[in-house]
Amino acid sequence: MTNFNDAISKLNELDFKNMYNGDFFLTWDKTDDEIKAVWQVADALRALREQNISTKVFDSGLGISLFRDNSTRTRFSFASACNLLGLEVQDLDEGKSQIAHGETVRETANMISFMADVIGIRDDMYIGKGHTYQKEVVNAVTQGNKDGVLEQKPTLVNLQCDIDHPTQCMADALHVIHEFGGIENLKGKKIAMTWAYSPSYGKPLSVPQGVIGLFSRLGMEVSLAYPEGYEVMPEVVEVAKKNSAATGGKLTISNDMKEAFKDADIVYPKSWAPFKAMEKRTILYGNGDTDGIKALEKELLAQNAKHKDWACTEEMMKLTKNGKALYMHCLPADITGVSCKEGEVDGSVFDRYRDPLYKEASYKPYVIAAMIFLAKFKDPVATLNALQKEGKKRVHE
Amino acid sequence: MTNFNDAISKLNELDFKNMYNGDFFLTWDKTDDEIKAVWQVADALRALREQNISTKVFDSGLGISLFRDNSTRTRFSFASACNLLGLEVQDLDEGKSQIAHGETVRETANMISFMADVIGIRDDMYIGKGHTYQKEVVNAVTQGNKDGVLEQKPTLVNLQCDIDHPTQCMADALHVIHEFGGIENLKGKKIAMTWAYSPSYGKPLSVPQGVIGLFSRLGMEVSLAYPEGYEVMPEVVEVAKKNSAATGGKLTISNDMKEAFKDADIVYPKSWAPFKAMEKRTILYGNGDTDGIKALEKELLAQNAKHKDWACTEEMMKLTKNGKALYMHCLPADITGVSCKEGEVDGSVFDRYRDPLYKEASYKPYVIAAMIFLAKFKDPVATLNALQKEGKKRVHE
Amino acid sequence: MTNFNDAISKLNELDFKNMYNGDFFLTWDKTDDEIKAVWQVADALRALREQNISTKVFDSGLGISLFRDNSTRTRFSFASACNLLGLEVQDLDEGKSQIAHGETVRETANMISFMADVIGIRDDMYIGKGHTYQKEVVNAVTQGNKDGVLEQKPTLVNLQCDIDHPTQCMADALHVIHEFGGIENLKGKKIAMTWAYSPSYGKPLSVPQGVIGLFSRLGMEVSLAYPEGYEVMPEVVEVAKKNSAATGGKLTISNDMKEAFKDADIVYPKSWAPFKAMEKRTILYGNGDTDGIKALEKELLAQNAKHKDWACTEEMMKLTKNGKALYMHCLPADITGVSCKEGEVDGSVFDRYRDPLYKEASYKPYVIAAMIFLAKFKDPVATLNALQKEGKKRVHE
């Protein structure tokens, strides 16, 4: 059972007043206190739900979702978070809408927001586009609210962009905090964020980038490893470096998976596309160069295939701290012998960590709900306490 | 008006405590008392709604739906049932999700269920698959709940599988109970569940199977008739035989539609595909044999066309008890001269029974809601009484 | 801030008792008092929401939407209106349903309505079809309710048909009322409803028809102008003529955009397809004549291209009253140099009116909610007053 009072008392020590009316783009936009506030509110909401207490703070209102890529987990996590708070999800399906017809972002953003309290966007396909688009949407609705068009400014939650995947990484970190018995126990621990082979092409970079950008501020040793050519965005590496320096942690980057796994407390092996290839692809798409895209895809698959030894095997796991590092993944993983012939992780390794992996995922709805909660309530602690005191049942008794 | 007190007093005589935390796969998994409890709770919920009393027992929570076949009625019935109880429907659209990418059932089932109180699945296309899939989903979420991944175990409602269509058949039966003035009046009555010609191909067997599996336990004479070659699953025939024996009813199987209609109190003429052809098709689909599938389709349509005399005509209706048997159908029917040239039923017959047919369908949302209710509440009678006492209005007055 | 008491006191002077249990097809079906009641209830609902007071009059219930054309604005407006009142939107997606299979309107209408309080339909593509279809749906559910199949008769809201677009035009008018400081200030004002060039083909006539049908009853000078061949439905012109005569207004029809713009207080320049071409297209679609449709499309685009001078340029705006007429559009507009090379309106004109345009759109959810409210509550004033008195917060405080 999650401890409500513990979460509240920790919240009372944090300064997060600037989150009110804000948005959640990137974890490194936020102060340490703000990041911690998200985790504590997530825990508080979970504690209330575990006690069958309703956390429906909205009597009506919409949560708009826009997914520019297929999604199961994030879609259901967003829907769950909205439902938990009382918002009805309305999906902006670009196939069913008129957006394609040359409509500006500014107009659409206002048109869907008359009764929207939240907008969640996943737009991770093109380098330099997703984050920019999300900024445009927020600027549009902020202006709309100022001009009296919108009665409220909907809060944006980044459900994955080209730079960061904050709802995933914040859930990952909350999982780690609980597994290690508290944030204070993470100091000096080693996490290996490594590339891993997958037979598929063009997976986003937002997870490895988000992980190094966030875990580097916990005083941990963050060991990023990938085959030559699989660099991530240099700006994010800079962020991680600065974070590490500030918190007494360490950031190492290598082309050696074994080095990264050695004595690691946590491993996060996962496929991604090279940053430069993704940039190239973005340009090819912009030019409508389908032959170029096909050629690039072929080239990237061939390049991937050279690194089939980058896999989280039983052998590799033995290198980790006592052979028992916590294995993490954002799911779905490419599991050798299960979902593909050769993939990111051995079937036996994956199977051993199934429970923790599912628990890792279970934090995402609460993390999203917490991001919304902190943006919508001026005094979140007071509101949480009020909910507990009111004690309205989620399920009738 | 449905009588609330009557439903409650009947419920008080039934033993259904084992339904708590359970699922609804097949009607013959349930005891007679459990089956009756579904009908009584359905009536009680309807009675409350007729009195404009809210039955929203969930303050928040999701009802996940997964339709692997097009659906209007069942989709809206499930959505209505969830809404009636306070659950928000979230559709798992396999087109929009990442499920196709080699993901295991176990993982997806957990990933969508963090805040799911109910999962409704329609998966009726392939023999030997639908029921098995539903079992896998339930095993996955049961395990997930045990392992602490899920805070609650969502309840599965079978919205149609390869074996049974319990929400349809339970609604059918509740309709019959009300038409005949009570379950006790059904003893000795005759129902003809017969094949009927349709110009379309491959309709599921779940309705005829569900009907003989359920109506055979009401002490009725169940007369199953179909042209040679249109056998249903032998296991279900066994179930119906045992049921009939146990309740003093009778099960007859023939290749003679007239014999079945003769003196019938109720007729349920409906097209379905031969069980063996469906098995063959399942294998062809498994092998990706599109030529084989096309050939089979052609063959089945030709086979159907030999039996155009299997139709619910005015002539046939004259054979029934006083020429006035209750005509039933799960809808949509293939109506001769309306939706097709030659079909399952004469336009004039269908038209005469339009009202009862629509009423038959109207029970489905309540039957689904009752299945959920009985699985979610430890003392359903107490909860129903509490709802009535609280008397919260569904629509503001 | 919208004034609640003002709206209530105006409502008290109006007679709208016949709206109870009714539907909203066309504005000219309604009396002047009924039209005014919609605006006042819309304002009252907005005032309550601005004060963070919940207007959730439904504790559960469905709002069914059926869109036979792509839509963003109207889809979100309907969803917002339903959510504001407590109804959950359930979309009848004809792609996912079995409707195509020869099912009658009557049957489908009943099957989706067991727990539906509202049905919203957009069906504007074919002349002579949309309005007729909506009438059929209403007849079906009215009969269903009478026959005891449906516990309530869902209210139809016309979300755009071949004849009228009442939710749009009522929002347009409410916008104008607020911009001009009250309905009484509109007497004698001039509105130019004119055709404008667009590089796209076959835009519905429902907006120009709806505008002349509604604004002609406000004592205004309605100046309809279009190039020869772009006539609207003659029946609607008749309606507008009668309205004008009755309210001391004036209806002029010309083929001269300048004449229409001259001294206009309001301009509404917008592309539409010629009525006769739409009739022709309906027949071609009925015959499945794809070659004919393509030929007609080419012909219409060529015809449009002859009238590129029909554009709302800065020059044209100078002709209006003090060069400052209120520019209106239902959005999205074809903006010259922004969404197309040559279009309906200059970029600079559009940009100057962006705020009022967005405000115009913001009334639509409230207008839809008001139409539902007036059909569902016997004493709407009493219910509105009760909501204010109860003062339940929309967002927790």
| Alpha carbons B126 and C135: distance in angstroms, whole number | 40
Q: Please judge whether B111 and A49 are an interchain contact, meaning their C-beta atoms are less than 8 angstroms apart.
A: no
Query: pLDDT value at position B68?
Result: 84
* Tens of pLDDT, residue by residue, chain C (397 residues): 889 999 999 999 999 999 999 999 999 999 999 999 999 999 999 999 999 999 999 999 999 999 887 788 999 999 999 999 999 999 987 765 544 334 578 999 999 999 999 999 999 888 888 999 999 999 999 999 999 999 999 999 999 999 999 999 999 999 999 999 999 999 999 999 999 999 988 899 999 999 999 999 999 999 999 999 999 999 999 999 999 999 999 999 999 999 999 999 999 999 999 888 888 988 898 888 999 999 999 999 999 999 999 999 999 999 999 999 999 999 999 999 998 999 999 999 999 999 999 999 999 999 999 999 999 999 999 999 999 999 999 999 8
Residues in chain C within 8 Å Cβ distance of B67? 96
pTM beyond 0.95: the answer is yes
Query: pLDDT value at position A93?
Result: 78
Q: Please judge whether B115 and A84 are an interchain contact, meaning their C-beta atoms are less than 8 angstroms apart.
A: yes
Residues in chain C within 8 Å Cβ distance of B340? 102
Give the N- to C-terminal CA distance of chain A in Å, as an integer: 20
**Closest CA of chain A from C146, distance in Å:** 32
Nearest CA in chain C to B48: C151
Q: Please judge whether C144 and B55 are an interchain contact, meaning their C-beta atoms are less than 8 angstroms apart.
A: no
Residues of A with CB under 8 A from a CB of B: 49-50, 54-56, 67, 70-73, 75-77, 79-80, 83-84, 86, 88-89, 200, 331-332, 334, 338-340, 355, 358-359, 361-362, 364-365, 392-397
Give the N- to C-terminal CA distance of chain B in Å, as an integer: 20
Q: Please judge whether C79 and A90 are an interchain contact, meaning their C-beta atoms are less than 8 angstroms apart.
A: yes
**Closest CA of chain C from B248, distance in Å:** 34
Helix (H, G, I), strand (E, B) or coil at C191: strand
Q: Please judge whether C79 and A59 are an interchain contact, meaning their C-beta atoms are less than 8 angstroms apart.
A: no
CA angle, A136 then A139 then A142, to 5°? 150
- Taking residues A259-263, report their average pLDDT: 98
| Alpha carbons C367 and C167: distance in angstroms, whole number | 6
Interval A24-43: pLDDT, tens: 999 999 999 999 999 999 99
CA B110 from centre of chain = 26
Strand order in the sheet with C190-195: C250-254, C221-225, C190-195, C266-270, C326-327
**Closest CA of chain B from C88, distance in Å:** 8
Q: Please judge whether C89 and A90 are an interchain contact, meaning their C-beta atoms are less than 8 angstroms apart.
A: yes
Query: pLDDT value at position C343?
Result: 96
**Closest CA of chain A from B53, distance in Å:** 15
Residues of C with CB under 8 A from a CB of A: 49-50, 54-56, 67, 70-73, 75-77, 79-80, 83-84, 86, 88-89, 200, 331-332, 334, 338-340, 355, 358-359, 361-362, 364-365, 392-397
Nearest CA in chain C to B393: C59
Is pLDDT of A201 > 90? no
Average pLDDT, chain A: 94
- Please, what are the domains in chain A? 4-164+364-390 (3.40.50.1370), 166-359 (3.40.50.1370)
DSSP letter assigned to residue C113: -
- Name the amino acid, one letter, at B48: L
Residue from the list C97, C103, C144 with its beta carbon closest to the beta carbon of B71: C97
**For residues A23 and A95, which has the higher predicted lDDT (pLDDT)?**
A23
| Alpha carbons B247 and B215: distance in angstroms, whole number | 10
Compute CA distances B15 → A1, B68, C183, whole Å: 33, 34, 66
Is pLDDT of A103 > 60? no
Mutate to test the interface with A, among C2, C65, C70, C178 (most CBs of A within 10 A): C70
Query: pLDDT value at position B370?
Result: 98
DSSP letter string over B349-383?
HHHHTHHHHHHHHHHHHHHHHHHHHHHH-SSHHHH
Residues in chain A within 8 Å Cβ distance of B377? 396
Q: Please judge whether B58 and A362 are an interchain contact, meaning their C-beta atoms are less than 8 angstroms apart.
A: no
| Alpha carbons A300 and A198: distance in angstroms, whole number | 11
Q: How confident is the model at residue A1 (pLDDT cuts 50, 70, 90)?
A: confident
Is pLDDT of B101 > 60? no
Interval A277-321: pLDDT, tens: 888 988 898 888 999 999 999 999 999 999 999 999 999 999 999
- Within B306-353, residue ranges assigned H as helices are 314-318, 347-352
**Closest CA of chain B from C155, distance in Å:** 14
Q: Please judge whether C76 and A112 are an interchain contact, meaning their C-beta atoms are less than 8 angstroms apart.
A: yes
Chains that touch B (3 or more CB pairs under 8 A): A, C
Query: pLDDT value at position C254?
Result: 98
Residue from the list B58, B102, B111 with its beta carbon closest to the beta carbon of A339: B102
Query: pLDDT value at position A68?
Result: 84
Query: pLDDT value at position B153?
Result: 97
Interval B137-192: pLDDT, tens: 999 999 999 999 999 999 999 999 999 999 999 999 999 999 999 999 999 999 99
Residue from the list A77, A358, A394 with its beta carbon closest to the beta carbon of B59: A394
Mutate to test the interface with B, among C84, C91, C115, C150 (most CBs of B within 10 A): C115
**Closest CA of chain A from B165, distance in Å:** 27
Q: How confident is the model at residue B287 (pLDDT cuts 50, 70, 90)?
A: confident
Compute CA distances C383 → A254, B306, C390, whole Å: 68, 63, 10
Is pLDDT of A146 > 90? yes
DSSP letter string over B119-174?
EEEEE-SSTTTHHHHHHHHHHHHHHHHHTTS-SS-PEEEEEEESS--HHHHHHHHH
Query: pLDDT value at position C83?
Result: 98
Nearest CA in chain B to A356: B149
Is pLDDT of B99 > 50? no
Is pLDDT of A354 > 60? yes
The pair of three-digit structure tokens given for residue A146, joined into one six-digit string: 């100022």
- What sign does the dihedral A382-A385-A387-A390 (CA atoms) show? negative
* Of A239, A28, A195, A207, the residue nearest A124 (C-alpha): A207
Helix (H, G, I), strand (E, B) or coil at C238: helix
**For residues A234 and B127, which has the higher predicted lDDT (pLDDT)?**
A234
DSSP letter string over A302-365?
HHHHTTTT--B-HHHHHTSGGG-PEE--SS---EETTTBSS-SEEHHHHHHTHHHHHHHHHHHH
- Within chain A, residue ranges assigned H as helices are 4-11, 32-50, 73-85, 105-111, 130-146, 166-179, 206-215, 234-247, 257-261, 275-286, 290-305, 314-318, 347-352, 354-376, 380-390
Nearest CA in chain A to C51: A151
Query: pLDDT value at position A388?
Result: 98
Q: Please judge whether A394 and B115 are an interchain contact, meaning their C-beta atoms are less than 8 angstroms apart.
A: no
Q: Please judge whether C96 and B73 are an interchain contact, meaning their C-beta atoms are less than 8 angstroms apart.
A: no
Is pLDDT of A396 > 70? yes
Query: pLDDT value at position A105?
Result: 87
Residue from the list B107, B144, B151 with its beta carbon closest to the beta carbon of A50: B151
Q: Please judge whether C59 and B395 are an interchain contact, meaning their C-beta atoms are less than 8 angstroms apart.
A: yes
Query: pLDDT value at position B97?
Result: 52
Query: pLDDT value at position B202?
Result: 82
- Taking residues B78-95, report their average pLDDT: 92
CB atoms within 10 A of CB B183: 18
Query: pLDDT value at position B96?
Result: 53
* Of C189, C250, C209, the residue nearest C28 (C-alpha): C209
Interval A328-339: pLDDT, tens: 999 999 999 998
Q: Please judge whether B396 and C96 are an interchain contact, meaning their C-beta atoms are less than 8 angstroms apart.
A: no
Q: Please judge whether A101 and C331 are an interchain contact, meaning their C-beta atoms are less than 8 angstroms apart.
A: no
Ramachandran angles phi, psi of C116, nearest 5°: -95, 130
